[in-house]
Amino acid sequence: MQFQNTLSFAQQLDAKDTLAPYKNEFTFPVINGKEVIYFTGNSLGLQPKRTQAYVNEIMNDWAGLAVEGHFKAEKPWWDYHERLAAPLAKVVGAKPEEVTVMNTLTVNLHLLMVSFYRPSAKRFKIICEEKAFPSDQYMLASQVRFHGYNPDEAIVEVKKREGENFWRTEDILQTIESVGDELALVLIGGVNYYNGQVFDMKAITEAGQKQGAFVGWDLAHAAGNIKLQLHDWGVDFAAWCSYKYMNSGPGNASGIFVNEKYLNRKDIPRFEGWWGTKKETRFLMKPEFEPMENAEAWQISNAPVMAMAPYLASLSLFDEVKMDILIEKSKLLTAYLEFVLQEIDKEIGSSTIFEIITPKERGCQLSVFLHGQGKALFDYLMENGVVTDWREPNVIRLAPTPFYNSFEEMYRFGQILKQGILKH
């Protein structure tokens, strides 16, 4: 398609967009009397309008039924989490029995490490990407120390090549091979939070498992954003938050994936709790733990239904639209944004201002290094109704989200950005 950086062209794309009506399904912040152009779905997704009804339903059941809501509500609380499994499995490419929702992301990664990081005197090393999201760095270091190892020796970071802004798959595979039989675990963010790169999860999973290691993925920036096939790729485990592209609200419940080959097994170590024991005998209060036959065996406490209600509301949108349709629009929308940035760069003409550090292996995020520009430009964008994300030293992250961003917004953003650069 031959793009044009004009309002009429952007509006033509919107007129052909079958997802355009879904913009009205979300509530937007307002600045200076106008709805914002919202580019930070990679940090916190907008609130779906239908969320309020899902939350109100539980509040009303709590008021009218009190404890009986566990069993007599229209969506009984004791199995509320089960309603999320089937639609969520479609989003991440899993079987329903391989996923469940519980806790929050880093808590779940710690819990999954109980099962999938079992170091020995020889096999104790973990491979991750250089400068992983800080929470992952803290989690990995604390796990390694807990098991009596030195993080400087046990954690192997795959670095980017000198002068490059992205990781090369061959470097990751070579590192896996070189660590060899000392490798206990590979744990990488499926989409890097800083540069937006999508890793080759299939190839990396195969390589790690070939060395006898477990392979897991932090999918915080991947779930609801890119095509995932966790089951078909043979991934051992994964976890993700729900409040970015999945629009479930700040700090909300996390999803996990556990490959079916680890289900219904009593020889898998894990921290156990009441809600992981068999549903059929749970209320018999038996002293021995009988694990659920699905990923729910990793659950510990009963479901926080008021937190899960917004997630269920958002998943109903995903179930209506389907991931393939979202991804199709996402690719076109992101490509158009990239084109607009390049055109604005040409129009300003003094020198290259925008360096897109996101490689072609990407979801909907573009990370843009702003040469010669400071945080004043970011502040200008915010003041003029464009919500972006600033990362030091000079990077703005832009995530055009297919559910609620339009092509016209990409054009309008370009014009505001141009004005901001000329002012500063």
pLDDT in tens, the chain (424 residues): 899 999 999 999 999 999 999 999 999 999 999 999 999 999 999 999 999 999 999 999 999 999 999 999 999 999 999 999 999 999 999 999 999 999 999 999 999 999 999 999 999 999 999 989 999 999 999 999 999 999 999 999 999 999 999 999 999 999 999 999 999 999 999 999 999 999 999 999 999 999 999 999 999 999 999 999 999 999 999 999 999 999 999 999 999 999 999 999 888 999 999 999 999 999 899 999 999 999 999 999 999 999 999 999 999 999 999 999 999 999 999 999 999 999 998 888 766 678 999 999 999 999 999 887 778 888 999 999 999 998 878 899 999 999 999 999 999 999 999 999 888 6
CATH of domain 53-321: 3.40.640.10
Alpha carbons 169 and 190: distance in angstroms, whole number? 12
Domain ranges of the chain: 7-35+322-423, 53-321
Buried b (16+ CB within 10 A) or exposed e, 104-114: bbbebbbbbbe
pTM here? 0.95
Beta-bridged to residue 368, according to DSSP, are: 356, 396
CATH of 7-35+322-423, one of 3.90.1150.10, 3.40.1380.10, 3.30.70.2860, 1.10.1670.40: 3.90.1150.10
Nearest to 126 by CA among 192, 187, 170: 187
Nearest to 133 by CA among 185, 184, 183, 195: 195
Q: How many CA atoms lie within 13 A of 266 on its CB side?
A: 5
Are residues 76 and 69 in contact, defined by beta-carbon separation less than 8 angstroms? Answer: yes
Classify burial at 413, counting beta carbons within 10 Å of its beta carbon; exposed 0-12, middle 13-18, buried 19 or more: buried
Three-state DSSP class for residue 393: coil
User: DSSP readout, 61-81?
Assistant: HHHHHGGGHHHHSSS-GGGTT
* Residue whose token pair is 């509040």: 59
| Same fold: 7-35+322-423 with 53-321 | no
